[in-house]
Amino acid sequence: MSTTADDAPDANNDETQASVDYAEILKRIPHRYPFLLIDRGENWVRNKSMVGIKNVTFNEPFFNGHFPENPVMPGVLLIEAMGQTGAVLMSKSLDADVEGKTIFFMSVDGVKFRSPVRPGDVVRMPVEVVRHRGDIFKFRGEAYVNDKIVCEAEFAAMVVESPK
């Protein structure tokens, strides 16, 4: 679903849903190729949830060494992709001025890997806010390929001032 001026998210409405395109992701988090691991966001709901989308291609740089004859996306990168989804959700929810600030992981708990992610897969990552206080958020995330869960984790993140 794309957002137009008529249905743009209202900062005061917690139930508003919107898409987050690649350009907005680039404005909200500092990650860049080859470490930007989400292509877009769907179903953003302020302070509640967002679904991150990662299109996994054969030319991802990690496939050269993990594993060339049996390419599998590293599990830690699935966690990072969920974390980036959470960071975009946080940044939009807080309407954070991203200038001079970065969102960092604080913790990762209860990680489970269920199935490998391979070239050609589209990973859908629903991430929901478990709780939040000020600039600290705790999330629950899952990653799916073709409606099959491939990874799950709980994680926390916070907004910090970037060094000058």
Instruction: Output the pLDDT for position 100.
Output: 84
Q: Quick one: what percent of the chain has pLDDT higher than 90? A: 81
Query: Which candidate, 103, 108, 102, 155, places its Cα nearest to that of 127?
Result: 155
Instruction: Judge if pTM exceeds 0.85.
Output: yes
pLDDT at 98 over 80: no
Overall number of domains in the chain:
1
- Asked, for residue 9, whether it belongs to a domain, the answer is no
DSSP state of 66: S
Task: Output the six-digit token pair for 139.
Answer: 């999330």
Instruction: Output the pLDDT for position 11.
Output: 44
Q: Which of 31, 66, 101, 132 is an active site residue?
A: 66
- Asked, for residue 20, whether it belongs to a domain, the answer is yes
- Asked, for residue 26, whether it belongs to a domain, the answer is yes
Place 72 in a pLDDT band, splitting at 50, 70 and 90.
Answer: very high
Place 16 in a pLDDT band, splitting at 50, 70 and 90.
Answer: low
Residue 52 belongs to domain spanning: 14-161
Q: How far is CA 134 from CA 52, 111, 138, in A?
A: 23, 25, 11
Q: What is the mean pLDDT of residues 94-121?
A: 92
Q: Specify the CATH number for the domain of residue 46.
A: 3.10.129.10
Instruction: Output the pLDDT for position 12.
Output: 46
pLDDT at 117 over 90: yes
- Asked, for residue 124, whether it belongs to a domain, the answer is yes
pLDDT at 6 over 60: no
What's the pLDDT tens digit per position in 46-67?
Answer: 999 999 999 999 999 999 999 9
Instruction: Output the pLDDT for position 3.
Output: 35
Q: Which residue has the higher pLDDT, 1 or 154?
A: 154
Please indicate whether residue 66 is annotated as part of the active site: yes
What residue spans of the chain are helical by DSSP H?
Answer: 22-28, 75-94
